[in-house]
Chain A
Amino acid sequence: MNVPATPLTISRFRSTAASVRLSVLQFVADPQWLIPSMIAPIIFGIVAYQLVLGSGPYFVVYAILGAGMMSMWGQTLYGSGWATGQDRVFGTLEPTLQAPTPYVYVVLGRILWNVVSGLVGGAIVYVVVVAESGQIPAVVNPLLFVVLFLFVMVTLASVGVILSAFYVYTRFAGFIQNIGEFAFYVGTGCMFPVIFLPWWTNPVSLVFPPTWALDALRYGSIPGYQGFAWGFGWDLVGAVATMTVYLVLAGLVFHRVERHVLEVGTLGDY
C-alpha cells in the first residue's frame, strides 16, 4: 500500500481545546445563547434583590448567591449534558464517537467552556446587584468568596460529566433531566440553604457535591450563617470527597456507556 501514512497523535489536550473552540464558535454563531448567558443573570439579579430586600444585614450577599447560583447552575450543569443531547439531534454523536479521541475529552472541553460562561453570568449578577443596592456587599473575605464560587462551579461540573454520560446512554436523558431539574436545584441548596428542607431529604442532598460546596460558600461569605452542624471545614472535605467519587465514576462510566451504545445501537437515535 502506498498511502503516505500520516502520523496521527491523539492529544487529550488538543481534543479538549478543540471542544472548547467548537463551543465558543457555536455560541458566537447563535444569538439565542445571549438569553441564558447574559439576559437571564440580569433578570435573576434584579428579582433576587427584590426578594431579599431588607431581610437582615447581609441581604445583598444573599441576592448575589441566589441569583449567581441560579445562572451558574443552568450554564454549567445543564449546558454540559445538553450539548451531548444536541450532538444526538445534529447526528454528530456518531462521527464524534467514531473519531479516535475518547468522548470524555469532548465533554471536558464543553464543561470548561460552560464554567467560564457560568462565571461570566455570576459576574453579571454581581454587577447588577451592586448597581441596584448601591453598595459593595460586605463579604467576609472577598478572595475566599471568589475561590469558593469557583469551587462550587467545579462541583457542578462534576455532576455535569455524569449527566453527559447519561445523554450518550439514552436519548431520553433530556426528558429525565427536565423532570429532575427542579428537585436537584432545590435539593442541593442552590435556591436556599438545604437546612431549610425537611431533615429526611438531607441524605439525598448530600449525595451531590454541590450541596457541600454551596454550604461552604455560605459559611465563607455570610457571617453568622447556620448551615450543616459540622461546619465549613467538613463541608470542604465532603465536597472534595463526593466530587472525587463522581469523577472516578465518570471515568468508569464513560467507557462503559460508549460500549453500551454500540451494543444496543442507539447512537443514531434522536
Chain B
Amino acid sequence: MTPDPAIEARGVRRVFESRKGFLFTEKSRTEALRGVDLRVEPGEIFGLLGPNGAGKTTFTKILSTLLLPTSGEARVLGIDVARNPQAVRPRIGLVLGGERGLYNRISARENLRYFADLFGLPPALRDRRIQEVLDRVGLTEAADRRVEEYSRGMKQKLHLARGILHRPELLFLDEPTIGLDPKSARETRKLIRSLVSDGVTIFLTTHYMFEAEELCQRLAILSKGQIVARDTVAGLRRLVGGDTTVEVEAYGFEDAEIERLRHLPGVGRILSEEFGPRLRLTLRSSSSELTAGAVRSALGTAHPDLMVRERRTVLEDVYLDLVEEEAA
C-alpha cells in the first residue's frame, strides 16, 4: 500500500464575500483561490511562493482547518479537511507567525503550557516537551519573561515552538522567517531541516526565493489564486529557459539588435525592463556559451554606455518571470 499523500488538493477555490462602506451596504467579492491542485508527499519540504495577495495564507488556512474551501477538495494526511477537521487538528502544526496570536501578558512558557493542554499533551510529558521546544528554538533564557517584552523575532520563535509542541506529522509554516535577523533566519532554516530529518513533512510559504531554493525539494508558484508553476528547483529553472542569465543595459536598443541577441546560443526568452531612460534586457540561456563577451560582440560598438552582466539564473528570476508573465 502506498502511503496517503501528506497533502492533496483538487480544484480548491475560495471566495471571500465581505461588506464594507457606510452601514455595510457595499458588497465586495474576492476570489482568493481559483482552483488549486497540489500534491505533497510525506517527508518532503514543499514550498509555496507567491507575491502579496496571491492566496498563500488563504491556502494554508484551508489546509490547516481554519477556513473552508468554497469548492474543491483538500485532503490532509488522507483526511478531508472540510468534512473532518477534528481528525486533522491533532496531527498537524500551524505557524501563522506575526506579532499577534500570543497571550502577551504571560510568559512564553505559560503560553506553551496552555496550548499543550489544548492539544492534549499528557501532563507527565508536558513540561519536558515545553523545555525541549524552547531549547530547540533558542528561547530558553527568555522563557519566563512576558511575551510583551519580546522582540518580533522572539515572538516568531515562540510561534514556531507552539507549532511543534505536540510533534505534528505535518507542519504548516506561513512565512516562517519573516521578521527574523539573518542569523535567526538561518537558525530557523536549520531547525526546519532538522524537523524534516525527524520525519516531519513541511509545507511552507515564503517571499524569499533563496529560502525556497535552499530548503525545498519541490515548489509551486502561486499567482492571483492560481498555480502557475510546480516543479523542482532545477525543473523550474529549465522552465524559464536555462541556467545562465545575462543582463544587458543601455540607452535603448534597435529591433535588429534584439533580433541578433535572440539568435545567440541557447537564448530562450528576453525580458525588457525600463529604468528611466535606460533599458535593461534580461536574456536566459540554456547554454554556457552565452557569455558577456558573446553578447558584447553581437552588439558591436554602437553603445559606448553598454553594461553587460553575466550570472547564474537564480530562483528569483524564475519567479519573476512566471509571476510577470502571468501579470501581462
A and B: bona fide binding partners: yes
- By a beta-carbon cutoff of 8 Å, the part of chain A in contact with chain B is 1-11, 14-15, 17-19, 21-22, 25-26, 29-30, 90-92, 94-101, 106, 259, 262-265, 267
Name the residue of chain B whose CB is nearest to the CB of A30. B105
Interchain CB contact under 8 A, A92 and B101: yes
Contact among A1, A10, A21, A90 for B169, CB-based, below 8 A: A1
- With contact pairs A6-B167, A18-B113, A98-B94 given, residues A1 and B43 touching in the complex (Cβ less than 8 Å): yes
Contact among A1, A9, A18 for B122, CB-based, below 8 A: A9
Interchain CB contact under 8 A, A6 and B121: yes
Interchain CB contact under 8 A, A267 and B113: no
Q: Which residues of A contact B239 (CB under 8 A)?
A: none
Cβ of B12 within 8 Å of any chain A Cβ, yes or no, is no
Cβ of B22 within 8 Å of any chain A Cβ, yes or no, is no
Q: Which residues of B contact A18 (CB under 8 A)?
A: 113-114, 117-118
Name the residue of chain B whose CB is nearest to the CB of A89. B100
Contact with A along B69-107 (1 / 0, CB 8 A): 000000000000000011001100010101011111110
Q: Which residues of B contact A8 (CB under 8 A)?
A: 90, 119-122, 166
Q: Which residues of B contact A95 (CB under 8 A)?
A: 94, 96, 101, 115, 162
Interchain CB contact under 8 A, B104 and A17: no
Interchain CB contact under 8 A, B200 and A22: no
Bound form: Cα–Cα A4–B65 in Å = 23
Bound form: Cα–Cα A25–B107 in Å = 10
The number of chain B residues with a CB under 8 A from chain A is 48
The 9 closest A-B pairs by CB, nearest first: A91-B100, A18-B117, A99-B118, A10-B120, A8-B120, A29-B105, A91-B101, A100-B89, A2-B199
Bound form: Cα–Cα A101–B119 in Å = 7
Cβ of B156 within 8 Å of any chain A Cβ, yes or no, is no
Contact among A97, A100, A263 for B68, CB-based, below 8 A: A263
- With contact pairs A3-B198, A95-B162 given, residues A262 and B67 touching in the complex (Cβ less than 8 Å): yes
CB distance from B154 to the nearest CB of A (A): 16
Bound form: Cα–Cα A106–B166 in Å = 19
Q: Which residues of A contact B106 (CB under 8 A)?
A: 22, 25-26, 29
CB distance from B68 to the nearest CB of A (A): 5
CB distance from A14 to the nearest CB of B (A): 5
7 new A-B pairs (CB below 8 Å) besides A7-B122, A10-B119?
A3-B199, A11-B120, A18-B117, A95-B101, A99-B115, A99-B118, A101-B118
Cβ of B16 within 8 Å of any chain A Cβ, yes or no, is yes
Cβ of B42 within 8 Å of any chain A Cβ, yes or no, is yes
Contact among B65, B105, B198, B201 for A262, CB-based, below 8 A: B65
Interchain CB contact under 8 A, B167 and A5: yes
- With contact pairs A3-B169, A15-B117, A18-B113 given, residues A90 and B102 touching in the complex (Cβ less than 8 Å): yes
Q: Which residues of B contact A14 (CB under 8 A)?
A: 117, 120, 123
Bound form: Cα–Cα A100–B120 in Å = 8
Would you give 24 A-B contacts (Cβ < 8 Å), ordered by A?
A1-B42, A1-B201, A2-B198, A3-B169, A8-B90, A8-B166, A10-B90, A10-B119, A21-B113, A21-B114, A25-B105, A25-B106, A26-B103, A29-B106, A90-B103, A90-B104, A92-B100, A96-B118, A98-B64, A98-B66, A101-B118, A262-B65, A262-B67, A262-B68
Cβ of B262 within 8 Å of any chain A Cβ, yes or no, is no
Q: Which residues of A contact B136 (CB under 8 A)?
A: none
Query: Of residues 105 to 149 in B, which have CB atoms within 8 Å of A's CB atoms?
Result: 105-106, 110, 113-115, 117-123, 125, 129, 146
Contact among A10, A92, A262 for B103, CB-based, below 8 A: A92
Q: Which residues of A contact B199 (CB under 8 A)?
A: 1-3
CB distance from A105 to the nearest CB of B (A): 9
Q: Which residues of B contact A265 (CB under 8 A)?
A: 14, 16, 61, 67
Bound form: Cα–Cα A95–B61 in Å = 11
Interchain CB contact under 8 A, A15 and B166: no
- Greatest chain A CB density within 10 A among B42, B114, B115, B198 is at B114
Q: Which residues of A contact B98 (CB under 8 A)?
A: 91
Q: Which residues of A contact B123 (CB under 8 A)?
A: 14
CB distance from B232 to the nearest CB of A (A): 22
Name the residue of chain A whose CB is nearest to the CB of B99. A91
Interchain CB contact under 8 A, B200 and A3: yes
Bound form: Cα–Cα A181–B112 in Å = 35
Bound form: Cα–Cα A265–B65 in Å = 11
Contact among A2, A6, A264, A267 for B166, CB-based, below 8 A: A6
Q: Which residues of B contact A3 (CB under 8 A)?
A: 167, 169, 198-200
Name the residue of chain B whose CB is nearest to the CB of A103. B118
Q: Which residues of A contact B14 (CB under 8 A)?
A: 265
Interchain CB contact under 8 A, B66 and A267: yes
